[in-house]
A and B are shown apart, each in its own frame.
Chain A
């Protein structure tokens, strides 16, 4: 009888152990399933982000091409006709003024087209494109801008170069719009396998904490754009204030795994 008792107790314990084992195993499966879902979601988000950025670039290319080919060409034709009409002495003053305005418009169209799709980037690389951008902004007269590259600069693929270019463009636009700065300087240098960019201005800037609040909070599409572009190239950004009261922005782009 005692043997049956012992057998009965053993069976109960085995059943209990089986229940516990089943629960633990089932829970591990749930965790594995959740991790898989999380991985797929992150992958999907990355793909959506990439598609969104590609779509944005295609649209910019299209607008830049239309501005340059259509509007720019038309304005140049108008200039040609005005040059012909200027040969008559009675038209000289009015036409001279019109030509001047037209020259300004043609230059502005070229600048807009260049900002939308920097042709120098594909042909000459990021270094020259940034120098050209600084030149355009400085020439516009709203803010003084300088650019300095410290060679050697690491080699980078076109996609990454374009992404960094867009980030710098967005940051400069924000500085012009919001900081009331008189001067901004841009520096580029390489550290091992990393591209480093440093922006410094004498206006009112933001700190790293404020940047993170903008990125996580509602609105602030520009900041979110910067953060998304950085994520797509495995980069990082740091907003700081120097002891002299100037604001600096450091961008780091890791060239591995791309």
Chain B
């Protein structure tokens, strides 16, 4: 339970510390994460939520997370490519069609697909960071921290969600056990790594090496 509470409250840390960047794109990510997790937690214990309602919450956050993350990557490493914007739009459209078709059933396969996209984006971003050398001091660069957060989050969960998709019925109890530890822990780590990202977001760096 402690891990669950920490996971729900952990997005508040980057939200509060990065309050100067409130309203900006990156700030919305932890804020919405907190909003969804807290709402689900409260509603489950007060009015009670059925599977359909839970799936709506999770699918909503899933697609918003996808749009936020891919938009940020498009702005920083893909030079605001309009084809990428169209691809994001097409993915959102397809996802909405899927939701309509399956009564908004939450799909671990789709989540894994999104996580694999995040993985590719993070690896490409690290390559761009090393190759272009625009920012010498990585620890002061918000995008480095954001990239690390997404990479660790995606790499920790991609295999797990694929496993759930294929073997959930067989290993349900053990899956829940791993879920309660792995996913929540990775969520906490992701939000902690988002703290410097949100705090440093938008700051212009001077690339002068120290004396």
Contact = CB atoms under 8 A, between A and B. Distances in A.
Interface of A: 1-2, 5-6, 8-9, 12-13, 15-17, 19-20, 23-24, 26-27, 30-31, 34-35, 38
Nearest to B144: A23
Contacts of B182: 9
Interface string B51-84: 0000000000000000000000000000000000
A2 B174 contact: yes
Given A2-B178, A27-B129, A30-B136, 15 more contacts: A1-B167, A1-B171, A5-B159, A8-B163, A9-B159, A13-B152, A13-B155, A16-B151, A16-B156, A20-B152, A23-B144, A27-B136, A31-B136, A31-B137, A31-B209
Contact of A38 (B159, B174, B209): B209
A20 B171 contact: no
B160 A23 contact: no
B156 A20 contact: no
Given A2-B171, A26-B130, A20 B151 contact: yes
B3 interface: no
A9 B160 contact: yes
A9 B154 CA distance: 10
Among B129, B151, B160, B178, the most chain A Cβ lie within 10 Å of the Cβ of: B151
Contact of A16 (B130, B136, B152): B152
Interface in B135-159: 136-138, 144, 148, 151-152, 155-156, 158-159
Contacts of B178: 2, 5-6
Chain B at the A interface: mostly helix, strand, loop or mixed?
helix
B133 interface: yes
Interface of B: 123, 126, 129-130, 133, 136-138, 144, 148, 151-152, 155-156, 158-160, 163, 167, 170-171, 174, 178, 182, 209-210
A16 B158 CA distance: 12
A22 to B, nearest CB: 8
A24 B137 CA distance: 10
B129 A23 contact: yes
Contact of A19 (B123, B144, B156, B170): B123
A12 B158 contact: yes
A27 B128 CA distance: 12
A30 B133 CA distance: 9
A19 B151 contact: yes
A5 B11 CA distance: 27
Contacts of B174: 2
A19 B136 contact: no
Nearest to B207: A34
Contacts of A2: 171, 174, 178
B140 to A, nearest CB: 11
Contacts of B210: 35
A15 B126 contact: no
Given A5-B178, A31-B209, A20 B160 contact: no
A16 B149 CA distance: 10
Given A5-B178, A9-B156, A20 B148 contact: yes
Among A6, A9, A13, A38, the most chain B Cβ lie within 10 Å of the Cβ of: A9
B57 to A, nearest CB: 25
Among A23, A34, A38, the most chain B Cβ lie within 10 Å of the Cβ of: A23
B159 A35 contact: no
A5 B152 contact: no
